[in-house]
């Protein structure tokens, strides 16, 4: 598996490719399956349909890895917090007032269909194609649980970090423990590596970033590596800026996924030797296509020449991307092989 070779610190040209949100609304075949499911949560918890949408982009484009089709908020739902997706509003949860209603022991029964999807996808994938399991990072998931919705700067979470830090820490502790069990379940079911999405890491000032992002991520990485020697873990501390190198050093992740605004040269300089990088093409280039896409791909390949790199985006594919532009992206990467 090319992806695992790179995660083991091997520079490969052309690099392995997968894209965040590669299974999704830009594909007509996804929209067809989504219509069968009834609603988004039902799709995530239906192993047959979730397996199908996970495999769709592999069949169409031949990516080097599939990523489990699910959502980072399946875990808080499994813990007992209500979750629904409102049209045009995104996820909605009742904002947590305390942690008394959260039940770690009951969670595996709720997310069991997700683990079944992992088993089915791994069995259906070509042997050379890696399967990536994932979870939301505790800080990011806590933002949704405390604010009750996304789509902003999570003002309640940020206020509680100062006004009731004990509540925030309690939520993070529960999430860290539950995430370890959840990701271990995915690894046992057949995931070849896992990824932590700290999509909202960048909203916290440095002291809180260390406490809320780095420390729970470190605990998760240490537990999974202790139980699974050799497992590779990718971290995505989006918009963490100058704290990127500290995140990599302190958490122990094997690879770090870079957001769109991070300069590759600066990331390489900030991170310890042996860091594997992933990302960070601007998703807007997939919408634009043409010369802009070609230039962006070439620059990114050159930036990581000789360095272990997984080609990806700085954030997820947007729904309006023409599928043919993804095909062009793959062509550009495959035809830009250069000596490592």
Q: How do residues 33-72 score in pLDDT, each as one tens digit?
A: 999 998 999 999 999 999 999 999 999 999 999 999 999 9
Note the pLDDT of residue 90: 84
Note the pLDDT of residue 158: 96
Write out the residue range of the structural domain in which residue 188 sits.
2-334
For the chain, the distance separating the N- and C-terminal CA atoms, rounded to the nearest angstrom, is: 18
CA 65, 244, 142: angle at the middle one, nearest 5? 75
User: What is the total residue count of the chain?
Assistant: 340
What confidence tier does 338 reach under pLDDT thresholds 50, 70, 90? low
The answer to whether residue 136 is domain-embedded is: yes
Query: Across all residues in the chain, what is the average pLDDT?
Result: 96
In Å, what is the CA distance from 86 to each residue of 25, 40, 74, 89, 158? 16, 10, 15, 5, 24
Six-digit token pair at 279? 């990302």
pLDDT at 339 over 60: no
pLDDT at 31 over 70: yes
Note the pLDDT of residue 337: 58
The answer to whether residue 105 is domain-embedded is: yes
Beta bridge partners of 91: 85
The answer to whether residue 340 is domain-embedded is: no
pLDDT at 307 over 90: yes
The answer to whether the beta carbons of residues 27 and 57 sit under 8 Å apart is: yes
Q: Check residue 83 and report its DSSP letter.
A: -
Mean per-residue pLDDT, 71-80: 97
CA 150, 23, 219: angle at the middle one, nearest 5? 55
What confidence tens digit (pLDDT) does each residue in 82-108 have? 999 877 778 999 999 999 999 999 999
Q: Indicate which CATH number applies to the domain containing 48.
A: 3.20.20.210
Note the pLDDT of residue 119: 98
Task: Report the catalytic residues.
Answer: 21, 25, 34, 71, 144
The three-class DSSP label of residue 337 is coil
| Cα 340 versus chain centre, distance | 27
The answer to whether residue 70 is domain-embedded is: yes
Number of domains comprising the chain: 1
How far apart are alpha carbons 281 and 290 in whole angstroms? 14
């Amino acid at each position: 598996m090319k992806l695992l070779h790179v995660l083991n610190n091997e520079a490969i040209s052309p690099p392995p490719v997968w894209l965040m949100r590669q299974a999704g609304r830009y594909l007509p075949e996804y929209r067809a399956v989504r219509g069968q499911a009834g609603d988004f949560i039902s799709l995530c918890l239906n192993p047959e349909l979730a397996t199908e949408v996970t495999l769709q982009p592999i069949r169409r484009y031949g990516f080097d890895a599939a990523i489990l089709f699910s959502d980072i908020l399946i875990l808080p739902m499994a813990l007992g917090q209500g979750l629904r997706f409102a049209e045009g509003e995104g996820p909605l949860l009742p904002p947590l007032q305390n942690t008394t209603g959260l039940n770690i022991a009951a969670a595996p029964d709720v997310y069991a269909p997700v683990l079944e999807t992992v088993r089915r996808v791994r069995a259906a994938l070509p042997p050379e194609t890696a399967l990536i399991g994932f979870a939301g990072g505790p800080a990011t998931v806590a933002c949704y649980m405390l604010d009750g919705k996304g789509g902003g700067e999570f003002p309640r979470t940020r206020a509680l970090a100062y006004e009731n830090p004990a509540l925030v820490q309690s939520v993070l502790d529960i999430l860290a423990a539950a995430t370890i069990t959840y990701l271990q379940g995915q690894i046992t079911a057949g995931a070849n590596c896992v990824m932590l999405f700290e999509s909202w890491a960048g909203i916290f000032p440095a002291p809180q970033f260390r406490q809320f992002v780095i420390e729970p991520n470190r605990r998760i990485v240490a537990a999974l590596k202790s139980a699974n020697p050799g497992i590779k873990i990718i971290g995505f501390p989006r918009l963490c800026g100058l704290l990127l190198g500290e995140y990599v050093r302190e958490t122990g992740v094997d690879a770090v996924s870079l957001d769109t605004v991070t300069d590759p040269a600066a990331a390489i300089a900030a991170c310890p030797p042996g860091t594997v990088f992933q990302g960070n093409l601007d998703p807007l280039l997939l919408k634009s296509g043409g010369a802009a896409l070609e230039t962006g791909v070439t620059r990114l390949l050159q930036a990581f020449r000789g360095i272990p790199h997984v080609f990806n985006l700085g954030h997820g594919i947007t729904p309006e991307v023409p599928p043919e532009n993804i095909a062009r992206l793959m062509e550009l990467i495959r035809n830009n092989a250069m000596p490592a």
